[in-house]
A and B are shown apart, each in its own frame.
Chain A
Amino acid sequence: MPAMSEAQEHARGDVNASSTAADTPLPAADAAPARLRCSARGIKKSFGETSILKGVDLDIPEGSFAVLVGPSGCGKSTLLRLVAGLEQADSGTITLAGRDVTNLPPRDRDVAMVFQSYALYPHLTVRDNLKFGLELRGTPKAEIDKRLDEASTMLGLGPLLGRLPKQLSGGQRQRVAMGRAIVRRPTIFLFDEPLSNLDAALRAEVRVEIRRLHDRLEATTLYVTHDQVEAMTLADTLWVLNGGQVEQKGAPLEVYERPRTKFVATFLGSPKMTMLEGVLVREEGRFIAEGGGVRAIVDDDRFGTALEEGRQVTIGIRPHDLGLAKNGAAAVAELKVELVEALGSEAFAHGWLRAAGPSVVARLDADDARSVRAGSAIPLAVSPARVHLFDPKTGVALGL
C-alpha cells in the first residue's frame, strides 16, 4: 500500500481536490463536496477466493474524464461495474452526485453505460434502442423526441434510425451505443473498453469523437481501457490499477514522466521502459547510475537525499529518451545492434549493451537509422532528466 498513498500525496493539478478528499475520509456520504460527481471509498470485492479489489478509493470531479487503465485482471472493469451497480461491493461506499448509491440497483443510480459488446437490443430498431431507457423512466414523449433529435444529429444517426442492430457496421453500432447513453443525460457516463472491437483506423477516429463529445457535453466520464494510447489521449485524470489497487493517479503526462513505481513505468509507454540493475557511484561531485552496461549521470535535484553512494538501484530509461550520441554528447552506453525497425518517421534499434544483459531498445531519427546496420555498435546518450531510478526491492521510484 505504500505506493498508493504516496501516489495520492503527490498528485498534482486537476486531481488536487480529489487527492485531498481521498486522503481525508469523508464524515458522511451526503457531505461529499458538490464538485465531486463520483467517489468511491475503500472498495473491496472478491469473487470466491479471488480478491479483485483490495480497498480502492476513486474520485471524479464534475465534468472530468477519468480513465481506469491497467493490465487484464487488475480489477478495472469490476470497479466500473460496481459504480454501475451491476456488482455489489463487499465493503466500501460509492457516492454519485452526493448521493450514497452503494446499495441501490443500477436503475436507481442514474448512470449510462457503453458496453464493450455495445449490447444493443437486437429486436429493436436504432430509434427504439435510443428510446428504451427514456420510456422506461416515463419521460414525456415530446422530451424523448427532442433528445432523440439532438443525439442523432450529434452522432449522425439520422439515416440509421429505422434499422436493426444487425444491419449496422461495427462503427455504427458503437455510435448507437453512445447515443443510447447520451439521450439519458446521466450523472455519469461509464465506458467499458468501448473501442476494442473496432479496427485500428476506426478506433483512432472514434477516440477523438468520444473526447469531442465529452468536451461538448461536459459529461463526467469514467472510462475503462487496457489500451495506453486511449488512456493517455482521453484522460483528464489517469488511474493506473494493478493487482486490485490504485498504483498511481494523475494527469496523463505527469504519470508518464514521473511514474511512481516500476510497474507504472513499464506499463505506460511503447516500447517499454528499459530496466537495468545497477548501483550509484559518485564521481567529480556528481552521482552516476552504473550497471547493465550503462553509466548515466542522474538529476541531483530530482532525487535529492535519495542519492547515496553505493546504493543499489534499478535504472529506468525509456527507449524514446535513449538516442544516438551526437555532436560530442557523452555516450552513456554502447548498443550492439541486433535489428533496426524503421517506422518511417523514426526507427527503433534493438540490441544488447552487454552479452548477458537484457534486450535494450533505443529510438533513432529516421536519417540516423539509415547508416545503422545489424551487428554494428552505436554510442547512446540520454539526458540526466530522463533517467529514472527505482528501489530494486520495493519497486518504488526514488526522489518522490
Chain B
Amino acid sequence: MSTDVAVTDRASPFERIAVNAILVVAVVYALYPVLWVISLAFSSGSEPELRAFPVPHNVSLDNFRIVTGWGDSARGWLFAKQLMNSLVVSLATAIMAVAIATPTAYALARHDFVGKRSGLRTLLLTQMFPGVASAVPLYLILDALHLLDTRTGLVLVYAATAVPFAIFQLRGAFLAIPVDLEEAAMVDGATRTQAFLKVALPAARPAIAVTALFAFMSAWNEFILAATLIGRESAFTLPVVLQSYVGEYNTSWGAFAAGAILVSVPVMALFYVAQRQLISGLTSGGVKG
C-alpha cells in the first residue's frame, strides 16, 4: 500500500523533467514578445534589431526620457498631464460604473418588478454592438454638449459602455449570495437598506473589486474612441500618446516600447494590490458549504 502511494504520488524524474520542459516552453512562448518590448525599451537607437535573444544593446533609459519628456519641462508637463488624463478618466469610469451598477444589479437580483426581463434583455442587446459602431453618433452628441476634447465627455462615454457589463457581473454576484443572509439581518433588526449595506455589500466586495478593475482597465486601454473624441494633445490619454510614436513615415519603436511599459505598470500594480480581493471566497462559510 505504502509503496503504491509513493509511486503514484511522486512522479518519476523523467516525468518531472518532461513537465518542467513543457512549462518552460510555455513561459518562453508567453514572455518572448514581452521580453522583446523590454529589450527595445532599454536599448538606445530607434531601429529594432531582429535577434534571437531579446537582450538590450547599449543599455540606456533614453527611450523613457523621450516618452516622459525628461529634462524638457514643456514636454514633461505635457506627459504628466496626459498620464493624469488616463488616471482620472479610468478611475472616474470605474467609480461611475460601480456606483451605478451596484444598486441596479442588487435590485435586479432581489426584486421582481415590471420591465425587469425586458430591461435585462435591452442591457444585453447593448453589449452586442462594439463601442466603435457608435463612434460617429457619440461624436455628434459630445459636440452638441460641448464635451469634445474633455475628460468628462470621455468618462461619460466609457461609463455608458462599462455600466451594462458591470450590472451583469454584479447581478451574478448578488444572485450567488444566499438570500438567507439578508433575511437573517432583517430579522436581527435591519431595514432592507441596512441589510444591503451591512451584509450584501460586504459579501459582494470581491465581485465589486473585480468589476471596478475591469472598468478601469477597459478605460485605461481604450484607444479608438479616445482618438476619435479627443483632438487636443493636452487632453490625450496614454494609448493615444503611444500611437503617436508609430507614425506613417517614421516609427520610433524604442519610444513605443518604453511607453507600452509605462502604460502597463499601473495595471500590473492594480492587479497586485487587488489580488486578495480577486481570489474571492468571502461568502464561503456563512451558509452551508
A-to-B contact residues, CB < 8 Å: 84-86, 105-107, 109, 111-113, 115-123, 132-133, 136-137, 164-168, 170, 173, 180, 184, 190, 197
Contact = CB atoms under 8 A, between A and B. Distances in A.
B183 A86 contact: yes
Contact of A164 (B187, B194, B285): B285
Contacts of B199: 121
Contacts of B181: 119, 121-122
B285 A132 contact: no
Given A115-B180, A117-B180, A136-B194, A122 B188 contact: no
A164 B285 CA distance: 8
A180 B287 CA distance: 14
Contacts of A85: 186-187
Interface string B19-53: 00000000000000000000000000000000000
A165 B119 CA distance: 37
Nearest to A138: B189
B264 interface: no
Contact of B286 (A119, A136, A190, A197): A119
7 nearest CB pairs, A to B: A166-B285, A122-B286, A133-B188, A117-B287, A119-B180, A119-B184, A136-B189
Nearest to B199: A121
Report the interface size class on chain B: 20 to 34
Given A86-B183, A123-B202, A180 B188 contact: yes
B191 interface: yes
B135 interface: no
A133 B187 CA distance: 8
A84 B187 contact: yes
Nearest to A177: B184
A133 B203 CA distance: 18
B288 interface: yes
Given A119-B180, A121-B181, A123-B203, A106 B285 contact: no
Nearest to B289: A170
A180 B180 CA distance: 14
A113 B178 CA distance: 16
Interface string B170-211: 000000001011011111111100100011001101000000
Contacts, number: 95
Contacts of B282: 122-123
Nearest to B180: A119
Interface in B254-289: 281-289
23 contacts: A85-B186, A85-B187, A86-B186, A113-B183, A115-B183, A115-B184, A121-B184, A121-B286, A122-B181, A122-B283, A122-B287, A123-B203, A123-B205, A132-B185, A136-B188, A136-B194, A165-B286, A166-B285, A166-B286, A167-B285, A168-B285, A170-B288, A180-B184
Given A84-B183, A111-B187, A121-B181, 16 more contacts: A84-B187, A85-B186, A106-B183, A106-B186, A112-B187, A117-B180, A117-B288, A119-B181, A121-B184, A121-B202, A123-B202, A123-B203, A123-B282, A132-B188, A165-B285, A180-B184
A119 B180 CA distance: 6
B114 to A, nearest CB: 16
B104 to A, nearest CB: 22
A166 B191 CA distance: 26
Contacts of A106: 183, 186-187
A118 B287 contact: yes
Nearest to B189: A136
B180 to A, nearest CB: 4
B111 to A, nearest CB: 14
**Which of A123, A164, A167, A184 has the most CB atoms of chain B within a 10 A radius of its CB?**
A123
A107 B191 contact: yes
Contacts of B203: 121-123
B119 to A, nearest CB: 21
A314 to B, nearest CB: 40
Contact of A113 (B184, B190, B281): B184
Contacts of A113: 183-184, 187
A184 B288 contact: no
A119 B183 contact: yes
Nearest to A197: B288
Contacts of A116: 180, 288
Interface centre among B178, B188, B205, B286 (most CB of A within 10 A): B188
B179 to A, nearest CB: 9
A118 B285 CA distance: 10
B286 A107 contact: no
A120 B286 contact: yes
Contact of A118 (B187, B190, B283, B288): B288
Nearest to B188: A133
A119 B199 CA distance: 11
A117 to B, nearest CB: 4
B285 A120 contact: yes
